[in-house]
Amino acid sequence: MTALTPPETHDIRAFGALPDGHRVNTTEIQAAIDACAEAGGGTVLIAGGVFLTGTLFLKSRVHLRVASGAVLRGSPDFRDYAEGCGKNMYRGEPEMDRCLLFARDAEHITFSGGGMIDGNGAAFPNADDPGRNRPMLLRLIDCRDLALRNLILRDPAGWTSAWLYCRHITVDGIRIHSRVNDNGDGLDFDGCEDVRVANSSFDTSDDCICLQTSRPDRPCRDIVVTNCTFCSKWAGLRIGLLSRGDFDGVCVSNCTFRDIGDAGLKIQVCEGADMRNMAFSNLVMRRVPRPVFMTLGRQRCCVDAPEGLPPMGRLRQMRFENLLIDNTVGGADSHLVITGVPGGLIEDVSFSGIRLWSAGGVAENAVQADAIPELIPENLGGHWPEYSCFKQVLPASGLYARHIRNLSLRDLDLRTEAPDARAPIVLDDVTSTQEEARP
């Protein structure tokens, strides 16, 4: 029997990389990656200091190992980041087209090692850069069999990562801290399948995790998120907005959310997708003003989408179970909000085992029930579906649901710390309701 040869390790220091944190080592690190790929695969080792680099092109069967104590840091100069590495799929945001780590049409790529990948985001945008570039940390396009384990990802200039049209992804034991700029998303999975995110923590200036579909032919499906902690200036978990392709099969469980600026679970169909079969269970939220914010409407969001309003999509078969929400500290108004539009009903939604305790304290004269504007009118006038589209206090202190078919409410404990003039639950154009709640 022939003995298997262990994969070769390519230490970037052997290729001339210097760990001084000043010299840009793009050529040396890329040489190590290329040599590893040409050898049939193996490990590219980053160890022993701080290594500055521009854009690196990953190859199949390459394991990029950033050892504990080592730092792979992005160059502070936008000219060290290559063009032609894909693009940001949101319209109006070309400043995030460049990236630090890039791969296309590759397989069996692993990032691990216990060290840090640092985007050096405070250096961007450069004062002499007319494009105001803010490179992402990681972008992978049409890749499969990918793993990101046991790393710290810190200070991207734009998003931390964009995974486009990839399959078979494992993310485990990572820590993302992304606060130096706005738009600091954590993990963005666009048209991806078979994704597992576990045992990770997020502290971001934008969505911690985002699921989206920028192409009609590339669905987002079979996604599992478990045992994670979320803290964000914006949303914990966002599903949709970019929603040209379908979403099917998402399971989120055993996670905590704290100090979220916008929404814990933000679920939105805007561009004609069919979004279905999602379960959210055993979640604890503290200081999260909108634990669930779900909208169905029509709005062009993707840079590649045709001009004009897209067709109406579908949002259905959503389950929320065992949510423990404490918003009594901080004084923010707090709601579960679900709203479709006339002609676009959200379908088959259930809430069970929900405890929402909020600050309350809204006076009766603060609510004008007959003056509530449509959150998502047929023509948005350029506004994406945000909670700020409501121009007044909502009439419910706990749950506000509008334009829903088949809503089930069981074992809801909705309370306010201070007396509140509003009803705990307000339903508008909601049919086939099964209700068993404890206001």
Domain of residue 340, CATH code: 2.160.20.10
Interatomic CA distance for residues 228 and 202, integer angstroms = 8
pLDDT digits (tens, 9 = 90+) for 42-54: 999 999 999 999 9
> Pick the residue with more confidence: 380 or 192?
192
In a domain? residue 59:
yes
In a domain? residue 157:
yes
Report helix, strand or coil for 184: coil
In a domain? residue 70:
yes
Q: Which one, of 400, 206, 213, 394, lies nearest residue 292 by Cα? A: 400
User: How many Cα atoms sit within 13 Å of 383 on the Cβ side?
Assistant: 14
Q: Please answer whether residues 325 and 356 qualify as being in contact, where contact means their C-beta atoms are separated by less than 8 angstroms.
A: yes
Query: Is the model's pLDDT at 435 over the cut of 90?
Result: no
Cα dihedral 59, 200, 316, 207 sign: negative
In this prediction, residues 352-372 reach a mean pLDDT of: 82
**Residue 437 pLDDT:** 56
User: How many Cα atoms sit within 13 Å of 437 on the Cβ side?
Assistant: 22
Q: Please answer whether residues 34 and 81 qualify as being in contact, where contact means their C-beta atoms are separated by less than 8 angstroms.
A: no
In this prediction, residues 307-334 reach a mean pLDDT of: 91
β-bridge partners, 204: 178, 232
| DSSP H or E run through 31 | helix 26-38
In a domain? residue 18:
no
pLDDT digits (tens, 9 = 90+) for 92-104: 999 999 999 999 9
Exposed e or buried b per residue across 165-200, where buried means at least 16 C-beta atoms within 10 angstroms of its C-beta:
bbbbbebeebebbbbbbebbbbbbbbbbbbbbbbeb
Query: Is the model's pLDDT at 39 over the cut of 60?
Result: yes
Query: Is the model's pLDDT at 244 over the cut of 70?
Result: yes
Residue whose pair of structure tokens reads 């959503």 in the numeric block: 318
**Residue 237 pLDDT:** 98
User: From residue 318, how far is each of 105, 185, 251, 405 by CA, in Å?
Assistant: 34, 24, 10, 12
User: From residue 8, how far is each of 16, 38, 56, 93 by CA, in Å?
Assistant: 18, 11, 20, 40
**Residue 384 pLDDT:** 79
Query: Is the model's pLDDT at 177 over the cut of 70?
Result: yes
Query: Is the model's pLDDT at 368 over the cut of 90?
Result: no
In a domain? residue 26:
no
Interatomic CA distance for residues 135 and 131, integer angstroms = 11
* pLDDT band (50, 70, 90) for residue 331: low
Q: Which one, of 260, 278, 261, lies nearest residue 269 by Cα? A: 278
Q: Which one, of 39, 85, 35, 33, lies nearest residue 63 by Cα? A: 33
Cα dihedral 294, 296, 301, 305 sign: positive
In a domain? residue 344:
yes
Share of the chain above pLDDT 70, in %: 93
**Tell me, what amino acid is at 434?**
Q
Query: Is the model's pLDDT at 70 over the cut of 90?
Result: yes
Instruction: Compute the C-alpha angle 112/215/202, nearest 5°.
Output: 35
What is the model's pTM? 0.95
In a domain? residue 264:
yes
Interatomic CA distance for residues 427 and 404, integer angstroms = 9
In this prediction, residues 178-187 reach a mean pLDDT of: 95
| Domain extent for 392 | 43-438
Q: DSSP label at 389? A: G
Residues 6+ apart with CB under 8 A from 162: 86, 88, 89, 99, 136, 138, 139, 140, 188, 190
**Residue 377 pLDDT:** 63
Instruction: Compute the C-alpha angle 159/165/169, nearest 5°.
Output: 80
Q: What is the mean pLDDT of the chain?
A: 93
pLDDT digits (tens, 9 = 90+) for 266-304: 999 999 999 999 999 999 999 999 999 999 999 899 999
pLDDT digits (tens, 9 = 90+) for 14-34: 999 999 999 999 999 999 999
In a domain? residue 11:
no
**Residue 3 pLDDT:** 45
In this prediction, residues 191-217 reach a mean pLDDT of: 98
**Tell me, what amino acid is at 319?**
R
Locate 214 and state its tokens.
């920028």
What's the domain count of the chain? 1
